[in-house]
Amino acid sequence: MKKAQKGNDKAFLTLFQKYEPDVYRIAYIYVKNQSDALDVIQETAYRSFKSIKNLKQPEYFKTWLVKIAISCSLDILRKQKNEDHIKPEFGESISGDVNGDIVLEMTVKDLIEKLNEDEKSVIILRFYQGLTIKDISETLSIPLGTAKTILYRALNKLRKSMEGDEVIEQ
């Protein structure tokens, strides 16, 4: 860590590669495709290399890296939203008739997509990365109580969504 903070490229690369799979998983959950997830990894590596010398608590390197990855993912999503490039045939398939023989399958990933960005971040960090509420609050730079509130609100939304789907299936 100290070598990486002093600008040693190889030391940084070794550190980054250790957590690259975690960064990729987080990025993929946010951006939903491999190409953009790889862009997130590249941008995360760049930003973290540029600012690693400013990392005050090296024991939180992974948490710090995850925070950068989330930020990069949200940046890409904002750019895509601003481009507004929904193809007409895609729009038709979304608004098409869902009655009939079409079977709708709701996965956990689909449910998470319905959450707002704060809720999605907390759920991903808690259940996909296994962070504690305290670590989540530090990673997202929010108060501990706020992290708890967001987590419980998100879980409640997910629970209601699941119950709603069961009612539809019966």
The three-state secondary structure class of 100 is coil
pLDDT at 139 over 90: no
pLDDT in tens, 59-111: 888 888 989 999 999 888 888 776 654 444 433 333 344 443 333 344 666 77
pLDDT in tens, 160-169: 877 765 443 3
Classify 1-83 by CATH class: mainly alpha
What does the domain layout of the chain look like in residue ranges?
A: 1-83, 100-170
Give CA–CA dist 97/30, Å, rounded. 28
Q: Is the four-CA dihedral 162, 122, 45, 76 of positive or negative sign?
A: positive
Classify 100-170 by CATH class: mainly alpha
pLDDT at 93: 37
Per the model's pLDDT, the better-predicted residue between 100 and 137 turns out to be 137
pLDDT at 83: 61
Q: Is the four-CA dihedral 89, 95, 97, 99 of positive or negative sign?
A: positive
User: The tokens of 21 are what?
Assistant: 């799979």
User: The tokens of 51 are what?
Assistant: 């600012």
**pTM (two decimals):** 0.63
